[in-house]
């Protein structure tokens, strides 16, 4: 057991018991104060510090392996990168700085990872770019607006048909996007799904400022829009 923590990157118990991403962000904050890093030098120095503080044998080796995992996690997720021309020295990337500056860096990182999936082609480039720039409200609005545009297109509706009324017109009984092969209850549920999504996540953004400070919420809205667009594609294919 470590008897004091002077000079060690993180307490041994925390290094061994915390998830690797939490250990990694702890190291990143420490690196921010210490400048450029060299992986080999860091691990040698950390090992010396732990041993000076009483950590020996297998436990010292286990802690160093945990630190190595965390260090490599930072590189894998683009938070550290090789400093040209000497690639063995690493610096904190712009992404790493953004993560450090976020209220919840891990939440932001996970939200960005959500959008690394193969998004619908109509929203992939623009929406992902807006999200990575931190424009969460614009990304969510743009994704849901594309759903509205696609519904209007498939329903051959007028340019003045907007929002929730457009969804009702398109999916109502006998509407151009209603699935007549489905039970009436399923048709109503489909209409309600699109009405709810547009009413909750698209229309408010059209009329007032919406606080999408939580990147997790914004990413889920984008993924909901992605699902709705794929459902519309499937409906279009069935109609021929």
Run means of pLDDT, 10 residues per run, the chain, 240 residues: 56 95 95 88 92 90 96 96 86 94 91 91 93 90 95 94 95 92 92 95 65 85 96 85
Q: What pLDDT does residue 207 have?
A: 55
pLDDT of residue 187: 93
Structure tokens at 202: 């698209």
Check residue 37 and give its pLDDT.
85
Global pTM value: 0.79
Q: Could you give the maximum distance between any two Cα atoms of the chain, in Å?
A: 78
Two tokens, residue 46? 């950390």
Residue 204, pLDDT score: 64
Distances (CA, A) of 89 to 21, 30, 41, 49, 72: 21, 16, 10, 21, 13
């Amino acid at each position: 057991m470590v008897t004091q923590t002077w000079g060690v990157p993180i307490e041994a118990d925390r290094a061994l018991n915390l998830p690797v991403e939490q250990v990694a962000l702890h190291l990143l904050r420490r690196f921010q104060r210490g400048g450029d890093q060299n992986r080999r030098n860091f691990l040698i120095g950390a090992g010396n510090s732990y041993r000076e503080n009483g950590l020996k044998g297998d436990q010292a080796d286990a802690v160093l392996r945990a630190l190595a995992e965390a260090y490599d996690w930072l590189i894998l997720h683009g938070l550290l990168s090789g400093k040209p021309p000497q690639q063995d020295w690493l610096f904190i990337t712009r992404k790493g700085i953004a993560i450090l500056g976020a209220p919840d860096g891990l939440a932001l990182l996970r939200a960005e990872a959500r959008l690394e999936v193969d998004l619908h082609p109509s929203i992939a480039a623009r929406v992902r770019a807006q999200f990575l720039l931190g424009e969460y409200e614009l990304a969510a609005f743009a994704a849901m607006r594309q759903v509205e545009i696609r519904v209007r297109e498939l329903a051959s509706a007028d340019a003045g048909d907007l929002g929730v009324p457009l969804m009702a017109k398109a999916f109502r009984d006998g509407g151009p996007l209603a699935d007549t092969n489905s039970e009436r209850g399923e048709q109503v549920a489909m209409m309600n799904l699109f009405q709810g999504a547009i009413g909750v996540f698209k229309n408010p953004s059209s009329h007032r400022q919406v606080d999408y400070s939580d990147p997790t919420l914004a990413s889920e809205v984008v993924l909901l829009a992605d699902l709705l667009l794929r459902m519309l594609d499937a409906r279009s294919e069935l109609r021929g």
